[in-house]
Amino acid sequence: MKRFLKRLGILGIISFQLCGCSLQEKAKKDTTKKEETIHKEGKNEPIPKEEEQAIRKLIDSYIQTINEKNFEGHMALFSTKSLGLEDTKAQKEAEFKNKNKKIELLDFSVRNFEGEYAVVETKEKEESAEKKVRYTVGKEDGVWKIEEVRVIEKG
């Protein structure tokens, strides 16, 4: 009986690990599909003014929370569906503790827009250096949230 329960427990652990891997794989495929959809040439929809303003407000809030060192408010801007959210949270927490950044938004443009997803490129000034940043944003429960932030060029 003990041997049977031990084997059953091992089988359960293996099946839970396989389920976790498949869920993680599915999330990765969904993210890849979003990126492919957003980056397709020629499928770019014109962005309505109210959507552009909502996205601009999100990016302004992102920068403002960094400048004010408001960690909780900053993390609330991120999508719960974004891949590696826990890693991002840990990284941001360390940045907020160790650095006192002041960022200024110089330029803002929505590069690709497709209904629920958009790619935004900004030019920002941090201390004396300028950088270009690409934000991937998506709608979550009708509200724009940040899915990914990537520095694409430092100047």
For 52-105, write each residue's pLDDT tens digit.
999 999 999 999 999 999 999 999 999 988 878 888 888 888 888 887 888 999
Question: Can you give the pLDDT at residue 92?
Answer: 86
The Cα 1–Cα 18 span in angstroms is: 26
Banded pLDDT at 41 (limits 50, 70, 90): very low
| Mean pLDDT across 115-127 | 92
Domains in the chain: boundaries: 1-39, 45-154
Banded pLDDT at 35 (limits 50, 70, 90): low
Question: Can you give the pLDDT at residue 42?
Answer: 44
- Please give the radius of gyration of the chain, using alpha carbons only, rounded to the nearest integer: 20
The Cα 137–Cα 58 span in angstroms is: 9
The Cα 122–Cα 132 span in angstroms is: 6
The Cα 153–Cα 150 span in angstroms is: 9
Q: Which of 32-41, 96-105, 129-138 has the lowest mean pLDDT?
A: 32-41
Bridge partners (DSSP) of residue 130 are 125
Question: Can you give the pLDDT at residue 144?
Answer: 95
Tell me the fold of 45-154: Nuclear Transport Factor 2; Chain: A, (3.10.450)
